[in-house]
Structure 1
C-alpha cells in the first residue's frame, strides 16, 4: 500500500512460550516491543503533536473463511466474514475475536491492535488509505498453538526501502530474529504506526469485560471488504 511516496511494511517476530521468558533482546531506547499493550501508545501521546483524539482508519485483513468481531460496548461483536475497515484512536488498544480457524473448529484467537502513530494523507482522504493490519493463517495457527506473534506495522523510510513495486493489497514484511526487539527493528527501518499481538493468553472463556478490552475504547465502523488469500 502506498500513500504518495510512502509505503507501509510489517516487521514480524515469533516467539515460542519457552523462549518468551528466556530471551533478553536489545530494546528500543524509549519503548520496548514487549511492554504491556497500551504502554507504548500512552507514552507516544505524551510527546504531543496531532495524535490525541485522532481516529485512524484501519483495515483488519484476515484469511478467507475466518470471521472477525471487535470488542466494543463491553462485549465482543458477533464475528463476521470479511475484512472490517474501522476507525481506531491513536494511543488505544483494541481487542479482536477471530474465529473460523482452519482445522480448529470452535476455537478462537484474541489478538490486540495498538495504534501508536498515524498516517498523514491529503485532507478528506483518510478513509481511502487505511492502515493494513494483516493477520495471516500462519499467525492464527501459531497463536492457537501457544506461540507469541508480534507484527509492527510501519511507514518505510524511502532511503532504506527496497526498490521494488508493492503489489496492491499486499504488505511488504520482514522477520525479526528472536533476540531482536521488533519495535527497535521497525523504528530503524521507518516510522512505526501500529502493533499487532497474538497469543500468550487463553481467552476462550472471555466475555469481553474489563481486562480483555483495555478500557473499551470507541470503534468507528466504516465497511467490510471481502477477505482474500
Structure 2
C-alpha cells in the first residue's frame, strides 16, 4: 500500500505558516495527476525506491537553512496505540496516541507502535525519514509541527505483513482547495508502479516519508537517529537546539 498525504493545519492558523499550508481532497486531485506530471517537478529530491536516508542526504548537500535545524514532528495514532522512539538505550518513554519530537533533515528515525486492534501481541516499527522542513514565523516552530498520522488501516496492513509507504508534503497553494480538514489528513493511494515521492513532488513539496512494515526490533546500535523529545508548552525555539539529543 503506497499513499500520499497532503500536510495541512487548521484554518485559524493556516495563514501564519510560511508557504500557506492548505488542504486538497485526494479524490479530486487524482484525475489531474497526468496533467501535473507533464510539467517538470520543482522540488524533486529523488526516487522513493532508493534506500531510506539517501533522499535527505541529497537535500543536505544544498546546505542553507536545512543544516542544523530541528524540525518538530508530531506522530498521531488511533486510540489505544502506544508509541515510543528508538534510542541508543532501547526505547523512549511510551506515549499514548501522540508523540512530539524534533528531527533533522537527512536522518531516519525509528518508532515502536503497540496495541493494534485485533493484533494485541504484534509490535510494529514504523520509520520516518525527514527530507525537508517547514518555515514558520520566528519562535513559532512548536505551533506548526509536521503531522504524521498512523491510521488504523496503516497499522492493520502492516500487522498482516504488508508494507505501507506514505509521503507527507506541503501542497502548492495555487492548486489546493482552501477548506478546513475535519476528519484527519486526506490521502490518496498511488497506482501500482507509480513513485509516491514523484507524485507528491508534482503537487507540492515533500517533507517526510513514513514507512510501516517492519516487525523486527532494532534498537541500540541501529542506523536510526535519536529524536529530540519536545513538549508543546515549551517556549524554546527548536532552531537553536542541536539536531539530535539523548532521550531522557
**Shorter-chain TM-score tier:** 0.7 to 0.9
State whether residues 8 and 155 of structure 1, in contact with CA within 8 Å, keep that contact through their aligned partners in structure 2: no
| Other-structure match for 1:24 | none
Q: Deviations over 1:172-194 (max 9, x none)?
A: 22221121000000000000000
Alignment correspondent of 2:174: 159
Instruction: Give the number of the structure whose residues are more often strand, by fraction.
Output: 1
Q: Distance in 2 between matches of 1:210 and 1:219?
A: 18
Deviation of 1:215 after TM superposition, in Å, equals 4.4
1:31 positional shift: 1.2
Aligned partners of 1:92 and 1:217 also within 8 Å? no
Task: Please show how residues 110-189 of structure 1 align to structure 2 within 5 Å.
Answer: 110-161=125-176, 163-167=177-181, 170-189=184-203
C-alpha displacement of 1:164: 4.8
Q: Give the distance between the partners of 1:37 and 1:171, measured in 2 at CA.
A: 23
Say how many residue pairs are matched. 202
- What's the secondary structure of 2:83's corresponding residue? strand
SS of residue in 2 equivalent to 1:56: strand
| Cα deviation, residue 160, structure 1 | 2.0
Q: Is the 8 A contact 1:70 1:77 kept in 2?
A: yes
Distance (whole Å) between structure 2 residues aligned to residue 143 and residue 47 of structure 1: 34
> 2:230 corresponds to which residue?
221
Cα distance in 2, alignment partners of residues 10 and 45 from structure 1: 31
Within-5 A mapping of 1:14-33: 31-33=46-48
Is the alpha carbon distance of 1:143 and 1:215 closer, same or farther for their aligned partners in structure 2, counting shifts above 3 Å? closer
TM-score using structure 2 length: 0.75
- Kindly state the Cα deviation for residue 54 of structure 1 after the two structures are TM-superposed: 0.6
Q: Is the 8 A contact 1:8 1:154 kept in 2?
A: no
- Are residue 196 (structure 1) and residue 210 (structure 2) matched? yes
The alpha carbon displacement at 1:147 in A equals 1.1
Question: What is the TM-score normalised by the length of structure 1?
Answer: 0.80
Deviation at 1:29, TM superposition (A): 6.5
Deviation at 1:158, TM superposition (A): 1.3
CA distance in 1, matches of 2:153, 2:134: 27
What CA distance in whole angstroms lies between the structure 1 residues aligned with 2:23 and 2:146?
Answer: 8
1:208 aligns with one of 203, 213, 219: 219
Residues 108 and 223 of structure 1: CA distance in aligned 2, closer, same or farther (over 3 Å): farther
Distance in 1, matches of 2:23 and 2:106, equals 19
